[in-house]
Amino acid sequence: MDQQILPSLEEELLINAAQVTAFRQNGHTLTKGVLNPEEVAIYRQVINEAAYKYNTETRKLADRDTYGKAFLQVMNLWEFDEAVRRYTLAKRFARIAADLLGVPKVRVYHDQALFKEPGGGFTPWHQDQYYWPLSTTNTVTMWMPMIDITEEMGMLTFASGSHKEGSVKNIAISDESEAELNNYIQKKGYEITRATTMNAGDATWHYGWTLHAAPGNNSAVTREVMTVIYFADGATITEPINQHQENDRNRWLEGLPPGALAASNINPLV
């Protein structure tokens, strides 16, 4: 797409103190209209083109495991596509992330398109930060549908307040995490919260340690979602405690050693 017609997304969107307080208390929040209809229509086309171009999943839905059935996942599109780069590095998103976390500056960890196909399976309960060898709890994921979505399409679902406990268990997203973390949530009595609908261009935000999941997509259309993960500038790299963190250290932190600033060439300050 011609770069000249892409909306810049540099204009900052301010959020109110009550929403910041709710985010820190619950571990998640929803912000309406982060992109306006014109902006989201243009970036939907950009993200779709890139996601399907770089998607490497070729198996039929029935042949995949639980994780594979949950969504088509294509990561760090901004590295390879200049149009997506303008979306992922947008100051508008980064300002909201920084304000929610209460930090002056944030860096990008990575982006990922999460397309849940019609008939796509549930996303098991998990904590994103299980995967991240970062020294800070000031981490947040923006989750933005590029089309209007309803609960039946796989709405993101949260265990409110669960971020306060930090890491619950050293466990990857899987059938095992679904069973064990669901039991944990029930024992703790966390309130399960999700929106009934979201418009294209709305966004949810959740801490890296907030327990979350999503039901399957029971609709006839693909749930198109784009995400960007941010962390507070100044964080350092921790010693990986599982193979996924070691993989992340090599890929998303470009192999920088434990103890180094988490500020590789692909963790831009936004």
For position 4, what pLDDT does the model report?
59
pLDDT at 65 over 80: no
- Each residue's pLDDT tens digit, 110-160: 999 999 999 999 999 999 999 999 999 999 999 999 999 999 999 999 999
Q: Token pair of 92, please?
A: 């508008």
Mean pLDDT, rounded, for 14-30: 96
Neighbouring-strand partners of residue 143: 204, 227
Q: How many CA atoms, within 13 angstroms, populate the side-chain half-sphere of residue 178?
A: 12
- Each residue's pLDDT tens digit, 165-174: 999 999 999 9
For position 73, what pLDDT does the model report?
81
Neighbouring-strand partners of residue 197: 150
pLDDT at 58 over 80: no
DSSP result, 73-104: EEE-GGGT-HHHHHHHT-HHHHHHHHHHHT-S
60: confidence class by pLDDT, cuts 50, 70, 90? confident
pLDDT at 1 over 60: no
Mean pLDDT, all residues of the chain = 94
Three-class HEC string of 32-48:
CCCCCHHHHHHHHHHHH
For position 242, what pLDDT does the model report?
97
62: confidence class by pLDDT, cuts 50, 70, 90? low
For position 55, what pLDDT does the model report?
77
- What is each CA distance from 185 to 70, 130, 168, 176, in whole angstroms? 21, 17, 10, 14
DSSP result, 160-200: ETGGGG----S--SSHHHHHHHHHHHHHHTPEEE--SEE-T
Fold observed for domain 23-251: Jelly Rolls (2.60.120)
5: confidence class by pLDDT, cuts 50, 70, 90? confident
Mean pLDDT, rounded, for 168-196: 96
pLDDT at 267 over 60: yes
Q: How many CA atoms, within 13 angstroms, populate the side-chain half-sphere of residue 98?
A: 19
CA dist 171 and 169 (Å) reads: 5
CA dist 1 and 3 (Å) reads: 6
If phi over 0 gives left and psi between -120 and 50 gives alpha, with beta otherwise, what is residue 8? alpha
Burial of 102 (0-12, 13-18, 19+ CB in 10 A): exposed
pLDDT at 71 over 80: no
Do residues 170 and 246 make contact, with C-beta atoms less than 8 angstroms apart?
Answer: no
Q: Token pair of 99, please?
A: 């304000």
For position 61, what pLDDT does the model report?
57
CA dist 127 and 229 (Å) reads: 13
Sorted by where each begins, the domain ranges of the chain are 23-251
pLDDT at 67 over 60: no
pLDDT at 249 over 70: yes
If phi over 0 gives left and psi between -120 and 50 gives alpha, with beta otherwise, what is residue 165? alpha
pLDDT at 64 over 60: no
